[in-house]
Each structure stands twice: as structure tokens, then as C-alpha cells.
Amino acid sequence: MKACLLRSPARVETNPLDFTDVPDPLAQDGQLLVKVAACGVCRTDLHVVEGELPPRKSPVIPGHQVVGRVEKLGGKAGRFRLGDRVGIPWLHRTCGVCEYCRAGKENLCNHPEFTGYTVDGGYAEYTLAPEQFVYPIPEGLTDEQAAPLLCAGIIGFRSLRLSGIEPGGKLGIYGFGAAAHLAIQVARHWKVDVYAMTRDTRHQKLALDMGAVWAGGTVEQPPAKLDAVVVFAPAGEIVPAALKALKKGGTVALGGIHMSPIPPLDYNWLYQERVLRSVANNTRRDGEDFLRLAAEIPIRTEIEVFPLRDANRALNSLKNDAIRGAAVLRVN
Ligand SMILES: [Zn+2]
Ligand SMILES: [Zn+2]
């Protein structure tokens, strides 16, 4: 099969993904072989490709927002039928026995596998996934539209949950890429006012088009104090600005897997019971709840589609803030 292979991490400007032939994967017990239709391009892929996340498998096929159809069932796999449309997320599988898994916090599992990082992902014509960690994809969305829901959407949703935002509240969103353009639709559905802080003026415009009450630069103070904040941009210097914009007792939730160093914080910005917390992965429950809500709202995704062979170009565009909404690779 054709796949985009990362042999060793390097800056995306050097086009490190090699579009090449690799052996077809074989479904083992409990696994599905999925014929990939579309795969979303996530900022985490950029961190994997550029080595900001230390390599865990090499070479590796990136991609963890996979939409495709079940092509083959491994032994003992019976949850889906051949041809069913499924989505494969970042959380590839968990151990099921560690203290976090047993406590219902499988997102914090001590021995997790991650799609497109510790195991091969969806920048390929076929990929494998354990059937228990795969989602049915709701009707009404094309494969390309559905793909960004699987990480940008689910992580954005968990970030909103952990921010503690309530109906009628004022929410700040820092960085307005794929995750933010989905999270704002959930927030609006919950009757939340959204203030968007993002460096790129095109992204500020997208935020306003999608119902933000205000949009400005990343360190600009919004015109109102915020009940909660979600930070999607991977820039540590945003954290002090976000805390300064926050009401007493509010939460800043950091939605990314990687962030540049956070500058020293003046304790006064955090005092008055403000909370600063990260968001790590998601549980299957988050994914199921979000996909149900996405179908109910219904969520619309803004996408820019690239052919699989152009994955390097998609990653370069993402790095340069040139994507309106989410980048998606069309595969078959
Ligand atoms: Zn575990
Ligand atoms: Zn992701």
C-alpha cells in the first residue's frame, strides 16, 4: 500500500514524509483493518514529525484522525461489520489494568498506545485499530468533514469540559485553528459568549464569522473578564495573558500536548483560586459524548483538503497558520 512514512523527525520545511510503498498491515485478534478514506492533519502530527515529541516508533506513519471503512476483521472482532464507517482517534488503546484505567481515567493510562505515534496511523491507504477503541461515525458528514472531529473535536470538547464553562458564561479561546473552530460551535450551542485571541488576522475573521463576540491578538486583553479559558496555541507566553484575562476562581485549560516554556508567573495572576491545568488525551466516553453532540448540533467543519501524497505541504500550511479550519488528507 501507499503511505507517508516518517523515517526520522525533521523540520517540515525539509519535507520529511516519504510517500512510498509499504507492506499491507495484517489484522490481529481484536483488530480491524480499515481502508482509509480521509485523515485529519493535527498539530500533534507536526510535533511528531518535527521531533518535539520524542520518537516512540521509527519509522512511523503519522495520522490519528482516521475515517474509513472496515475492510477485514481480525480474530475475535465482532463489534463492527465489513463496510461499516468508523473513526480511529489518537488514543489507540489503553492497558485496562493500571490504577488510572480502573478509576475511569483511561486518558491518563500508564501504558497507552497512540495512533500515528507509538503505532502506525492514517497517513496511509490502510491502517489497523483495536475495535474497542474505534467510533462509529454519525451520518450526515462526508469522510473529510468527519475526520477533524476525531482529535480536534474530541480534545476541544474535553478542554471545554475541564475549563468548567457554564451556560451564559464568557469563554476565552487562544489560538483559532482546527480545535477552536469546532469548540466554538459547542460553546455557542451551550449559549456561551466566546472571545477569540489569535495571532493571525484570517483566524480572527474566522472566529467572528463563527459567532465569537470579539476577536483580537494573542496577548491583547479582551473587553470583558472571562469565566474560563481554553488555550489551543502551543505558545507558553500566552499563559500569563490568559490568567490576567480570567475572573477570580476561573480555570485556564491548556489543550495541547506540547507547549513552549511558560514564562515566570506573578503569583497575583494565579491567586484568588484561579486554576491552571492541562488536558491530556481523552476517554472513550468523551469521544462518544462529543460525536453524539456533534450530530445533534449539527457541527460543521471548515476543511482544506490535500491528497495523501501532499502531506508535507499540508503540514507546512498548518505550521504557517495558512489553514482555515482543519487540514484533511483525502486517501482513497
Ligand atoms: Zn492503563
Ligand atoms: Zn490530534
Query: pLDDT tens-digit profile of 17-73?
Result: 999 999 999 999 999 999 999 999 999 999 999 999 999 999 999 999 999 999 999
Please identify every residue whose CB atom is under 5 Å from ligand 2, which is an ion: 42, 44, 151
Q: Cell 513552549 sits at which residue?
A: 260
**pTM reported for the whole predicted model:** 0.94
- With 0-12 / 13-18 / 19 or more C-beta atoms within 10 angstroms meaning exposed / middle / buried, residue 227 is buried
The answer to whether the beta carbons of residues 68 and 36 sit under 8 Å apart is: yes
Q: Please tell me the distance between residue 101's alpha carbon and the centre of ligand 1 in angstroms.
A: 4
Position 140 pLDDT exceeds 90? no
Q: How far apart are alpha carbons 74 and 131 in whole angstroms?
A: 9
Q: Where are the beta strands (DSSP E) in 139-225?
A: 170-174, 193-197, 214-216
**Strand pairing class (275-278; 246-254):** parallel
Kindly identify the ligand whose nearest atom is closest to the C-alpha of 116: 2
User: Which grid cell is 159?
Assistant: 478542554
Q: How far apart are alpha carbons 125 and 90 in whole angstroms?
A: 18
User: Which grid cell is 298?
Assistant: 449539527
Q: How far apart are alpha carbons 46 and 316 in whole angstroms?
A: 9
For 274-283, how does the pLDDT look when each residue is reduced to its tens digit (9 = 90+)?
A: 999 999 999 9
Kindly identify the ligand whose nearest atom is closest to the C-alpha of 107: 1
Q: Please tell me the distance between residue 211's alpha carbon and the centre of ligand 1 in angstroms.
A: 39
Q: Please tell me the distance between residue 91's alpha carbon and the centre of ligand 2 in angstroms.
A: 10
Q: Please tell me the distance between residue 98's alpha carbon and the centre of ligand 2 in angstroms.
A: 24
